[in-house]
Amino acid sequence: MAENVSSRSTVLATDGLTMYFGGLKAVQDVSVAVREGELVGIIGPNGAGKTTVFNLVTGIYKPTAGDIKLNGESITKLKPFEVTQRGVARTFQNIRLFPELTVLDNVRIAYHRNVHYGLLSAMVRWPSFNREEEQLTEKALDFLDVFGLADRHAEQAKNLPYGEQRRLEIARALATQPSLLLLDEPAAGMNPNEARRLMELINFIRERFHLSILLIEHQMRVVMGICERIYVMDFGELIAQGTPKEIQNNPKVIEAYLGKGVG
């Protein structure tokens, strides 16, 4: 299987990614790669710089040094919305839905970049507007169906229970039609059972939508089951990488998580 993966083309590659906030070294010389169809995890204790890596890849921060390539092209200097338009979607650690909008509208907004009708045809309700609007509504409902949320499409997003908000956020990210999906602690706040079901769902959508997925998690147990490769970060630096098995037995990782002198 290892050969099989390495023969696939690289979707995302960061090269020597470094980010300083003033004198604080948040991320130092991080090089990660995600290949086509791969599910890769970044793990590490709190404050290791995992989310900063996501914010760098999605263009929210501009790196102090280093380069980010998507399908071979540099996206380092792009604005966040341009990065999304190139096919990178993400979810947030502390769920960021459009709270006052309906579940359906949350997903329809993600579809916006595929809309062709102009402002004027929307304002006068030109026939092409109606046709396209119906199509995109239908597609949005299809996405909601996959996540078991179609029945709740008219609900305000803020009224959904926590687990459904998480699912809606993933559905919304998928509606931007990404080739690479970044999930920031998707299982945060879930019990082990819910987390396991979510991971199964993530595996399922990866196959169904032909995605490459990079996911952050700080509970090691959650990612061990589904990730093909794992990067471990601590204090802003990569300290290990490899298959889940290799990671589990890596003394540096054990030290980062449990401290020195254990085992």
Partner 1 sequence: MLSRRILLPAAAALAVFVVLQTAISAELLNAYQITILTYACIFVTYALGLNVIYGYNGQFSLGHAAFYGIGAYASALVTKIVFQGNPLSFPLALAAGVATAAAIGYLIGLPILRLRSDYLGIATLGFGIMVKVLFDNADKVIPAMGGARGLTGIPKLTSFAWAFFAAAAAVILVRNLIYSSHGRAIVSVREDEIAADAMGINTTKYKTLAFVVGSGLAGLAGGLYAHLYVFLHPSNFDFLKSVDVLMVVVLGGLGSMTGTIIAAVGWVFLLEGLRIVLPQEFLDWRMVIYPLVMIIVMILRPRGLMGGIELGPLKPGKVVRRLKAALVPASGKEA
Radius of gyration in angstroms for the set of CA atoms belonging to the chain, rounded to a whole number: 19
Q: How far is the CB of 192 from partner 1 (least distance, A)?
A: 28
Residue 167 identity (one-letter amino acid): R
Distance CA(129)–CA(72), nearest Å, equals 36
Q: How far is CA 238 from CA 15, 167, 249, in A?
A: 12, 29, 16
Stretch 13-32: interaction string toward partner 1, x if CB under 8 A: --------------------
Residues in Cβ contact with 196 at an 8 Å cutoff, skipping those fewer than 6 apart? 222, 225
Our finding on whether 201 is near partner 1 (CB under 8 A) is: no
Residue 102 CA to its chain's centroid (Å): 22
Residue 53: count other Cβ atoms within 10 Å of its Cβ: 30
If binding is defined by CB under 8 A, does position 61 make contact with partner 1? no
Q: Is 188 an interacting residue with respect to partner 1 (CB under 8 A)?
A: no
Q: How many CB atoms lie under 10 A from the CB of residue 205? A: 19
**176 touches partner 1 by CB under 8 A:** yes
Interface with partner 1 includes 226 (CB under 8 A)? no
Which of 35, 50, 108, 166 forms a contact with partner 1 (CB under 8 A)? 108
Name which position in 73, 145, 200, 207 contacts partner 1 (CB under 8 A): 145
User: Applying CB under 8 A, does 113 fall inside the site for partner 1?
Assistant: yes
Q: Scanning the structure block, which residue is given the tokens 């290949």?
A: 35
Beta carbons within 8 Å of 58's beta carbon, 6+ residues apart: 80, 83, 84, 88, 90, 182
Residue among 60, 74, 71 at smallest CA distance from 16: 74
Q: Can residue 124 be called a binding residue for partner 1 (CB under 8 A)?
A: yes
Residues 72-101 that bind partner 1 (CB under 8 A): 79-81, 84-85, 89-90, 92, 96-101
CB of 249 to partner 1, least distance (A): 36
- Distance (Å, whole) CA 133 – CA 61: 34
**Residue 200 is a binding residue for partner 1 (CB under 8 A):** no
Choosing from 1, 2, 24, 154, the residue that interacts with partner 1 (CB under 8 A) is 154
Residue 57 binding partner 1, by CB under 8 A: no
Binding footprint of partner 1 on the chain (CB under 8 A): 58, 60, 79-81, 84-85, 89-90, 92, 96-101, 104-105, 108-113, 115, 117, 119, 122-125, 129-130, 133-134, 136-138, 141-142, 145, 150, 153-154, 172-173, 176
